[in-house]
């Protein structure tokens, strides 16, 4: 299997100590059981070559793997470079991890070349762009889905099962509180954070999660953005975004619930985790509360202060033989995509079956519609906005 990765940032390489490099680490772990012949990482900046090489060396060393990773600069003509690489390498799969505003243009290139594609969330900021990608995927009969890894978190799967078993009765409301350190927009994503906002970049995870947990569809919303801190530092985006969403049962329009999502990326850098995230699901017969930051492990050192550890997302942990193994629900999301592509290629599963059970581009139109409506609401003095439904 040959894999193309577009982007070389935090989620791909863990650059500048920002994490494990979930995508490359996942592929290295997968390569120990599946023949991953070659991985090519492409990025705009030629300086990213060293970042990618260093990450590959570090990851291979930790996992005792031999993942073959090379780098190619996109230069000024992304389409020409990617098309030339595809003609030469004939990639089996592509993983796109670039800034939000580039998702459409890059996704269009890959789907135009009929490469099975995994897009790191959000799919796109607008329905028009998302619908075009859906049509392109359908036209070329290409598997395309979004890397919504929260769908693979066992905690969330337990909550989904509990809701389906009617343990808390009819849904009444859901609350989400999600924040990140200010270093993210100010340093890690400084080159593009002004092109996005915290709700579009991170809140979309919980939009998709609520849809996944309940099966309800968003009907209308109102959103409010606060600003001042980031704009005063030269980053033209909201400090926080707050969205109130009305959800409807697609089989019974009279059955509704409300969700309130509060998101910010101005947490102090001394916060005990990169992300602080909690949510509650309230029903007529009970409630479920979930702290997705505090997983029960706290590390306190002179060097790092207090840290809340989440080993369940993606981490290197000892296997039964004492060797490090990369795992977690972040890994599961990447691995599921790679195995799906293999099964599809081998004729062991159909595209229709995959699209029915994965966060496909079509399935992800729901979260795109909410992002677009929230952005529109904030531009229009926080008016209530009807949520679009894409082409479904």
Averaged pLDDT for residues 213-229? 97
Position 29 pLDDT exceeds 60: yes
Do residue 300 and residue 378 come from a single domain?
A: yes
Range of the domain at 88: 2-149+328-360
How far, in Å, CA of 342 to CA of 36, rounded?
11
Residue 277 phi/psi, 5-degree rounding, is: -140, 130
Contact 63, 28 (CB under 8 A): yes
Averaged pLDDT, 3-14: 96
Please tell me whether residues 219 and 164 are part of one structural domain: yes
Domain annotation covers residue 16: yes
CA separation, residue 301 to residues 295, 297, 305, 354 (Å): 18, 13, 5, 45
Of 17-26, 130-139, 175-184, 315-324, the poorest mean pLDDT is in 17-26
How long a stretch of residues is the chain? 392
Strands 275-283 and 252-267: unpaired
Tell me if residue 258 falls in helix, strand or coil.
strand
Q: At what angle do helices 204-214 and 154-164 cross, to 10 degrees?
A: 40
- Do 164 and 292 have their domain in common? yes
The pLDDT tens digits of the residues spanning 320-333 come to 999 999 999 999 99
Predicted confidence (pLDDT) at residue 391 exceeds the cutoff of 70: no
One domain, residues 228 and 293: yes
Count up the domains in the chain and report the number: 2
One domain for residues 305 and 219: yes
The pair of three-digit structure tokens given for residue 314, joined into one six-digit string: 């993606």
Q: What is the mean pLDDT of residues 329-341?
A: 98
Q: What angle do CA 251, 389, 105 make, to 5 degrees?
A: 145
pLDDT tens profile 261-300: 999 999 999 999 999 999 999 999 999 999 999 999 999 9
Going by pLDDT thresholds of 50, 70 and 90, the confidence category of residue 232 is very high
Let me know whether 88 and 121 are in one domain: yes
The span from the CA of 131 to the CA of 8, in Å, is 26
Query: Does residue 77 carry a pLDDT above 90?
Result: no
Q: Across-strand partners of 260?
A: 175, 244
In a domain, 169, yes or no: yes
- Looking at the structure, tell me whether residues 122 and 203 fall in a common domain: no
Residues 245 and 129 in one domain: no
Task: Note whether residue 322 is domain-resident.
Answer: no
DSSP-based three-state secondary structure for 376: helix
Average pLDDT over residues 75-101: 95
3-class SS of residue 161? helix
CATH of residue 112: 3.40.50.720
| Mean pLDDT in residue range 68-95 | 94
pLDDT of residue 18: 76
| Contact partners, residue 101, CB within 8 Å, separation at least 6 | 125, 192, 195, 196
Strand-pair partners of 278: 177, 291
Residues 181 and 306 in one domain: yes
Taking residues 366-392, report their average pLDDT: 90
| Any domain includes 75 | yes
> Does pLDDT of 237 surpass 50?
yes
What is the pLDDT averaged over residues 181-195? 95
Q: pLDDT band for position 392 (50/70/90)? A: very low
**φ and ψ at 172, to 5 degrees?**
-110, -55
- The CATH number that applies at residue 167 is 3.30.360.10
pLDDT of residue 382: 96
Instruction: Indicate whether 392 belongs to any domain.
Output: no
In terms of domains, do 272 and 212 share one?
yes
Q: Is the pLDDT of residue 389 over 90?
A: no
- Phi/psi for 299 (5° steps) reads -115, 130
Residue 35 in domain: yes
Q: Considering the domain boundaries, does residue 374 fall inside one?
A: yes
Q: How would residue 75 be classed by pLDDT, with cut points 50, 70 and 90?
A: confident
- Local structure of residue 68 (DSSP, 8 states): -
Within a domain: 127: yes
204 pLDDT band (50/70/90 cuts)? very high
């Amino acid at each position: 299997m040959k894999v193309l990765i577009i982007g070389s940032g935090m989620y791909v390489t863990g650059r500048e100590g920002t994490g494990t490099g979930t995508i490359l680490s996942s592929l290295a772990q997968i390569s120990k059981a599946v023949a991953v012949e070659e991985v090519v990482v492409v990025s705009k900046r030629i300086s990213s070559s060293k970042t990618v090489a260093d990450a590959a060396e570090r990851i291979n060393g930790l996992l005792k793997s031999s993942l073959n990773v090379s780098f190619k600069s996109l230069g000024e003509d992304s389409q020409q470079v990617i098309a030339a690489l595809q003609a030469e390498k004939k990639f089996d799969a592509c993983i796109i991890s670039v800034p939000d505003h580039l998702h459409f243009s890059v996704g269009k290139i890959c789907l135009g070349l009929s490469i099975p594609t995994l897009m790191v969330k959000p799919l796109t900021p607008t329905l028009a762009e998302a619908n075009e990608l859906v049509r392109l995927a359908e036209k070329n009969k290409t598997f395309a889905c979004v890397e919504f890894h929260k769908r693979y978190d066992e905690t969330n799967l337990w909550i989904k099962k509990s809701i389906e078993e009617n343990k808390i009765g009819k849904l009444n409301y859901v609350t989400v509180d999600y924040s990140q350190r200010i270093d993210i927009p100010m340093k890690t994503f400084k080159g593009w954070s002004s092109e996005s906002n915290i709700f579009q970049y991170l809140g979309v995870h919980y939009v998709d999660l609520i849809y996944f947990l309940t099966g309800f569809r968003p009907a209308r919303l109102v959103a409010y953005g606060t600003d001042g801190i980031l704009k005063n530092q030269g980053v033209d985006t909201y400090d926080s975004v707050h969205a109130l969403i009305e959800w409807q049962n697609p089989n019974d329009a009279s059955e509704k619930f409300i969700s309130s999502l509060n998101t910010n990326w101005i947490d102090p850098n001394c916060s005990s985790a990169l992300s602080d995230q909690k949510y509650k699901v309230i029903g007529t017969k009970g409630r479920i509360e979930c702290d997705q930051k505090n997983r029960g492990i706290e590390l306190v050192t002179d060097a790092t202060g207090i840290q809340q550890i989440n080993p369940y997302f993606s981490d290197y942990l000892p296997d039964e033989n004492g060797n490090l193994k990369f795992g977690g629900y972040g890994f599961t999301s990447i691995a599921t995509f790679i195995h799906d592509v293999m099964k599809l290629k081998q004729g062991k599963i159909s595209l229709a079956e995959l699209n029915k059970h994965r966060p496909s581009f079509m399935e992800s139109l729901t979260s795109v519609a909410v992002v677009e409506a929230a952005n529109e609401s904030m531009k229009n003095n926080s008016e209530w906005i009807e949520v679009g439904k894409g082409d479904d």
